[in-house]
Amino acid sequence: MAATIQAVSGNVIDKVQVTTALVSVFDKTGLEELGAFLAAQGVHILSTGGTAAALRKQGCTVQDVADYTGSPEILDGRVKTLHPKVHGGILAARGNAKHEAEMAEHGIRGVDLVIVNLYPFAQAVEKGGDFATCIENIDIGGPAMIRASAKNNNSVAIVTSPAQYAELKQQMTNNGGCTDLAFRRNLAAAAYSLTAAYDGSVSRWFSAQVTSPVPTQSVTFQVQRPLKYGCNPHQLPASLCSVTESGKLPFDVVSGTPGYINLLDAVNAWQLTQELAMATGLPAAASFKHVSPAGAAIGVPLTDEERVVFEVKDKELTPVATAYVRARNADPMCSFGDFVAISHEVDLATANILKIEVSDGIIAPGFSPEALEILKMKKQGKFIVLRADPSFVAPAQEYRMVGGIGFVQKRNDALFDNSKLEKVVTSAKELPEQAKLDLILASITIKYTQSNSVGYAKGGMMVGVGAGQQSRVDCVKLAARKVTTWKLRFHPSVMALRFKEGVKRQDRVNARVRYIEGDMQEAELAEWSNNFDTAPAPLEEATKAEFLRGLSDVAVSSDAFFPFRDSIDACSRIGVKYVAQPGGSVADQDVIAACDSFGMTMAFTDLRLFHH
């Protein structure tokens, strides 16, 4: 192991009087006000070019760095401050006799405050600059001064952003023109964070310009807002961070205070609805719970019967509102307290539907003024409203840490559309337009569902989502159970349930589901019966089975191949007619034969959609 460098001796002083400052900034925001303050404090300033000119206008005593060093700015400004008299003044250890003697010998002035910000490299890249332009926007002198100042935080304060000017002025005002050690060390930590992010940005860009992969990959997490906690209350601290070069997030927080899981739901649901709208050309909606969709749908008009079952008979239903009603009613019990995503602007009709549902928040690209007012008042102002940016492009690479190790992969940007349904492998070849829409809906939905996942769709809505099962056939059966519950909500006995006056909307939803399931113990049955003036007769299994025989034209998609025919056998019991799956199993021919025996149409998509 290489030996480390020994510490240089010097005084550690709490309060350091600011007598000399070096100021060289590209972003001159707030410079006039700061210059006036420094002039009033009698600070001697070393500066360069346009910064020096701007400061002189404020009455500051300014000495050009070129005059101080005796070396002119050269090489088109590439070399301005890279000089021993600049860096010696920054790095000299105060109270170190050797350093002080060398400063005196070489005419070096001690620098107490450095104010520097950097060339806008990320903006040059974002604007599509060519190689030479991006190279020219890599700052050299700035990072060198920042790192030197931060290293010598015992004596030097380093300010790297106009956002820090107010705190600097307050610090010097409160301390008679001095900075204290705690302040300087806080600034130093922020400075090293800045240079690390800046170098990371350059490194990521340069890595994309060469043919040989670099051995180290970097990603910068820029904290945008603190979070109350992570997945659980004991997981602190927690933050929401941006990872783009611009520091942008894919959304703005309009109202409410989103939590860690809210945001995971939001960003996954928003991607789902964006892709669904892109693939179908229709408004799309998703209802998320615990980072998997409880439901998703497109804006296919409701039938009169669906309006009754979904309790929106007298509601105005625009295509956007319809998409959400369908998404919420895939599994309305699981959607309790959901996070909603809408692909299009949220209109008044959609807000009025959301107003009556128990929900935590929504993400959408926009809101009509009337809709926004309604949503901001929901949950006494605690309802979360996020405005998504449809133009936001996520980075191509995804980074993840688990248990002390890191993973990097290309983002799953594959779009599932009609082209993925062209490889029909069964004897039956018919795929009507509605079936294609349903298979696209189911496939995009399971793309954002914890694997293993299988999803059933019918009439433009998910009717059963099975998530996170180790066995694929168990996943098929879990989702199928949800399909049967969805279908049985249309049974005449269920539709005829007469609730007591005052029973809440969600309680009616839950009571219908438990009536369909029917497996209530005595205490639960007694409590359930309190929803009615007269408890209804049970829904018999034979009655349910007979009604379910009318279920047909259901579409199913699987995130990976069906390894055995047992999944197809299970699908046949709930009216599945259309199947999409990647294919690639050694038992593909057995699965195809099973589909043929039931008259199903199956397409191999050649696209696995695991999501972990």
User: How far is the CA of 272 from the CAs of 82, 342, 347, 414, 457, in angstroms?
Assistant: 51, 9, 20, 12, 15
Specify which residues 78 forms β-bridges with: none
Q: Considering only 64-73, 389-398, 561-570, which range has the smallest mean pLDDT?
A: 64-73
Cβ proximity of 240 and 224 under 8 Å = yes
Return the pLDDT at 262: 96
**pLDDT digits 0-9 by tens, 189-199:** 999 999 998 88
* pLDDT confidence bin for 269, thresholds 50/70/90: very high
Mean pLDDT value of segment 423-443: 97
Nearest of 352, 359, 392 to residue 373 by alpha carbon: 352
Residue 180 has pLDDT above 70, yes or no: yes
Whether the Cβ atoms of residue 64 and residue 23 lie closer than 8 Å to each other: no
Average pLDDT over residues 355-362: 95
DSSP string, 289-328: ETTEEEEEEE-PPPPHHHHHHTT-TTS---HHHHHHHHHH
Distance (Å, whole) CA 571 – CA 217: 45
- CB count in 10 Å sphere of residue 4: 6
Instruction: Quote the pLDDT of residue 593.
Output: 97
In this prediction, residue 239 carries a pLDDT of: 95
**Counting runs of H as helices and runs of E as strands, what totals does the chain give?**
23, 22
pLDDT confidence bin for 203, thresholds 50/70/90 = confident
Active site residues: 151, 290
Q: How high is the pLDDT of residue 158?
A: 96
pLDDT confidence band for 340 (50 / 70 / 90): very high
Which of 116-130, 131-145, 552-566 shows the highest mean pLDDT? Answer: 552-566
Model confidence at 97: pLDDT above 90: no
Residue 90 CA, chain-centre distance (Å), reads 41
| Mean pLDDT over each residue of the chain, to the nearest integer | 92
Residue 2: its pLDDT value, please?
65
pLDDT of residue 354: 95
**Does residue 341 or residue 202 have the better pLDDT?**
341
What is the arithmetic mean of pLDDT over 133-144? 89
CB 180 within 8 A of CB 156: no
Over 90: is that where the pLDDT of 562 sits?
yes
How much is the average pLDDT of 291-301? 96
pLDDT at 1 over 70: no
Q: Is residue 353 a contact partner of residue 324, using CB atoms and an 8 Å limit? A: yes
* Domains detected in the chain: 16-206 (3.40.50.1380), 250-388 (3.40.140.20), 415-491+539-604 (3.40.140.20), 501-538 (no CATH)
Q: Cα(133)–Cα(563) distance, rounded to whole angstroms?
A: 53
State the Cα–Cα distance between residues 49 and 46, nearest whole angstrom. Answer: 11
What is the share, in percent, of the chain residues with pLDDT greater than 90?
71
pLDDT tens track for 23-60: 998 888 898 889 889 988 889 989 888 888 888 887 77
Rounded to two decimals, what is the model's pTM?
0.86
Buried b / exposed e across 316-354, counting CB within 10 Å, b at 16+? ebbbbbbbbbbbbbbbbebbbebbbbbbbebbbbbbbbb
Sign of CA dihedral 471, 474, 480, 481: negative
Mean pLDDT for 415-421 is 95
Mean local confidence (pLDDT), 464-469: 92
Mean pLDDT, rounded, for 165-187: 94
